[in-house]
Copies of this chain bind each other. A is one copy, B any other.
């Protein structure tokens, strides 16, 4: 038992380095070495690996956060649940947009995972009502247009009647939306009527609608419906989605992708 308290698991260190770098945009090797109670050599190896992942850039004496990393973390709620499925779903959504399109990005963690992949598309125009999407693009990335509205803290989105005006005067090639509940019979549902109102508007102004939803949403029905199965053009989910449901969507002319 050489180390007290936390027997520094490498992944845990990496996470702490990311957190520290998010707060203060630069960090020195010996500073990290002291805080994390490991040798400078280990820190360098960590930085080397994190640089390969694009999280940071090494400089002599330490490292700086990569461009585009937000300065302060927004509280991470459910982004870690089913993270790998969400990432795979987001990856599968990429072929549905072109580099110069105008698209709509909804709130929700799966859509946020998609947004993170769009930082390298500067010619894209993103319309969104999500604070977290806007924040993800605050440093660099596509052109961002935010629909106004009242902040709903639970979902970190701007919703309600005030969002009507901006959404009414914009049109999108594709809308990428998430949902709380999803079934063929009851359609797509969410917990808040104001949120449903805004989603409905976005869908109405999109030429194509792509739903990103992990399999856990299937069979759930929430309070407010914002779309029916026939509104969808594409449904992207993971392999654990119930086959019977998927078949129904396919029959309704929805392109179904299960990653």
Contact = CB atoms under 8 A, between A and B. Distances in A.
A74 B139 CA distance: 9
A29 to B, nearest CB: 10
A169 B168 CA distance: 15
A166 B72 CA distance: 28
Given A9-B61, A10-B60, A61-B9, A148 B150 contact: no
B138 A143 contact: no
Contacts of A1: 24
Copies of this subunit: 2
A31 B2 contact: yes
A238 B24 CA distance: 29
Given A74-B135, A135-B74, A11 B149 contact: no
Contacts of A194: none
Interface stretch (A99-107, A155-163, A172-180, A244-252): A155-163
A259 interface: no
Nearest to A125: B150
A59 B11 contact: yes
Contact of A162 (B64, B138, B156, B166): B166
- Which of A1, A156, A163, A165 has the most CB atoms of chain B within a 10 A radius of its CB? A165
Counting chain B CB atoms within 10 Å of each CB, which of A2, A11, A31, A150 scores highest? A11
Interface of A: 1-2, 7-12, 15, 24-26, 28, 31, 59-62, 64, 72, 74-75, 131, 134-135, 137-140, 143-151, 153, 156, 158, 162-163, 165-166, 169-170
